[in-house]
């Protein structure tokens, strides 16, 4: 159980509330077909998903730029599956991916139910490393934007989770002490360790079926929050 009274809950967005992998797969299905890139979608995604996670880690650590992330994750994937795709096509796909991703609106099971349950009792916020131009669109498209008082993204903060500065900015905007704040997220490094270092209480949504740990409580489904709060 939590040590202090919680007044504010901060959620990560991608992989926590917004079903990133499902929406991403639907986006690729659309743009690969429209650009006549003939690869097997399942083969492509099997290779792309782990590469994308690796590149996001590099991006979080400021080891690559946003444009390098968007290009390299595609170049690496096509090379790995032996598909000959030109740089020009990759740049078009990278742009179209960003353009269409937020048009798909699948949420994790129980997202709306748990937000409806929490909203009368707590102030709800978002802290995300996603790009500002599409995170707002995702929230509005999925019809959950209205639940959140503060939406803090890494472009806003000038740093990415797990950097303390983004969590401090979120606390400042929400006007809450860290001991009264709960961070709910899927990424152990960015969400859980990052927030704990600043003094948040934390809850790990185990979206990636990671091994058990004793850093904080873990949940496999968002609806479990009902029995905790």
DSSP assignments along 6-32, one per residue: --EEEE--BTTTB-HHHHHHHHHHHHH
pLDDT tens-digit series, residues 98-157: 999 999 999 999 999 999 999 999 999 999 998 787 899 999 999 999 999 999 999 989
Same domain, 125 and 212: yes
151 pairs with which residues across the strands? 126
Same domain, 74 and 138: no
Q: State how beta strands 201-205 and 8-11 pair.
A: unpaired
The runs of H, that is alpha helices, within 81-153 are 87-101, 111-118, 132-141
Same domain, 121 and 50: no
Query: In terms of residue numbers, what domain contains 146?
Result: 8-19+107-228
18 pairs with which residues across the strands? 14, 107
Domain stops at, among 101, 133, 166:
101
Domain membership of residue 1 (yes or no) is: no
Domain membership of residue 191 (yes or no) is: yes
Same domain, 65 and 155: no
pLDDT tens-digit series, residues 166-212: 999 999 999 999 999 999 999 999 999 999 999 999 999 999 889 99
Contact call for residues 13 and 131 (beta carbons, < 8 A): no
Q: In which region does residue 199 sit, left (phi positive, over 0), alpha (psi from -120 to 50) or beta (all else)?
A: left
Tell me what the pLDDT averaged over the chain comes to. Answer: 96
| Per-residue confidence (pLDDT) for residue 144, from 0 to 100 | 98
Among 13, 40, 227, 5, CA closest to 129: 13
In this predicted structure, the answer to whether residue 3 has a pLDDT above a threshold of 90 is: no
Tokens of 29: 């299905």
In this predicted structure, the answer to whether residue 1 has a pLDDT above a threshold of 80 is: no
Question: What DSSP string describes 110-126?
Answer: THHHHHHHHTTTSEEEE
């Amino acid at each position: 159980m939590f040590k202090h009274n919680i007044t504010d809950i901060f959620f990560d967005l991608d992989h926590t509330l917004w079903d990133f992998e499902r929406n991403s797969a639907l986006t690729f299905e659309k743009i690969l077909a429209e650009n006549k890139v003939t690869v097997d979608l399942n083969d492509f995604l099997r290779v792309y998903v782990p590469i994308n996670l690796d590149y996001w880690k590099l991006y979080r650590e400021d080891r690559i730029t946003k444009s390098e992330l968007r290009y390299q994750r595609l170049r690496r994937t096509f090379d790995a599956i032996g598909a000959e795709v030109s740089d020009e096509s990759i740049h078009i796909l990278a742009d179209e991916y960003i353009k269409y991703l937020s048009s798909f609106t699948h949420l994790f099971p129980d997202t709306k139910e748990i937000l409806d349950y929490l909203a009368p009792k707590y102030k709800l916020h978002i802290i995300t490393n996603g790009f500002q131009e599409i995170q707002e669109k995702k929230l509005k498209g999925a019809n959950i934007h209205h639940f959140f008082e503060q939406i803090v993204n890494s472009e806003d903060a000038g740093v990415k989770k797990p950097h303390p500065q983004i969590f401090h900015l979120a606390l400042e905007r929400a006007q809450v002490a860290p001991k009264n704040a709960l961070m709910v997220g899927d990424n152990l490094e960015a969400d859980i360790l990052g927030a704990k270092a600043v003094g948040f209480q934390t809850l790990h949504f185990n979206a990636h079926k990671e091994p058990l740990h004793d850093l904080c409580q873990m949940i496999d489904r968002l609806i479990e929050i009902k029995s905790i709060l």
